[in-house]
């Protein structure tokens, strides 16, 4: 289960670029399909790295907002509002001018929120598999 816009993960951003600090848009012609989602990349090299180990780069909780997931909800995330924790990509919701930015909530209790989100994600995946 992945947060998709027209079948494309991360709003078309290159998953590997998040791990270098600044997400960059991927090219529509450079992509890899994984678990029903199309991931776009800014280079063939990034595509090859992703294809070799997708689990290392896919966003946690399917790319949904991590705070919302900790509350058992699936809410879209802003493609430039993210955090890398222990080598994993976490996404967060943010309004246009950042008045609401759920990453702030996450940072106040990262371990607690992560544990809650992990539990809720596991329940959601189990429910999806049973459907």
Alpha helix (H) ranges present in 35-78? 44-52, 66-70
- Sole residue written with tokens 């280079």: 43
**Separation between Cα atoms, residue 26 and residue 9, nearest integer Å:** 10
Domain span including residue 9: 4-54
What is the number of structural domains in the chain?
Answer: 2
Residues 14 and 67 both lie in one domain: no
The pLDDT tens digits for 66-94 are 999 999 999 999 999 999 999 999 999 99
How confident is the model at residue 2, as a pLDDT?
75
Return the percent helix, strand and coil in the chain, to nearest 5. 45, 25, 30
- pTM: predicted TM-score of the whole model, two decimal places: 0.93
């Amino acid at each position: 289960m992945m947060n998709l816009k027209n079948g494309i993960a991360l709003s078309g951003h290159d998953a590997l670029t998040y791990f270098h600090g600044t997400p960059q848009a991927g090219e529509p012609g450079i992509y890899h399909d994984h678990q029903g989602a199309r991931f776009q990349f800014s280079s063939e090299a990034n595509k090859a790295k992703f294809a070799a180990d997708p689990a290392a780069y896919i966003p946690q909780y399917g790319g949904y907002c991590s705070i919302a997931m900790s509350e058992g909800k699936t809410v879209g995330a802003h493609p430039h509002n993210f955090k890398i924790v222990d080598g994993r990509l976490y996404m967060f919701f943010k309004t246009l001018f950042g008045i609401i930015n759920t990453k702030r909530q996450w940072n106040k209790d990262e371990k607690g929120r992560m544990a809650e989100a992990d539990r809720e994600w596991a329940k959601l995946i189990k429910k999806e598999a049973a459907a």
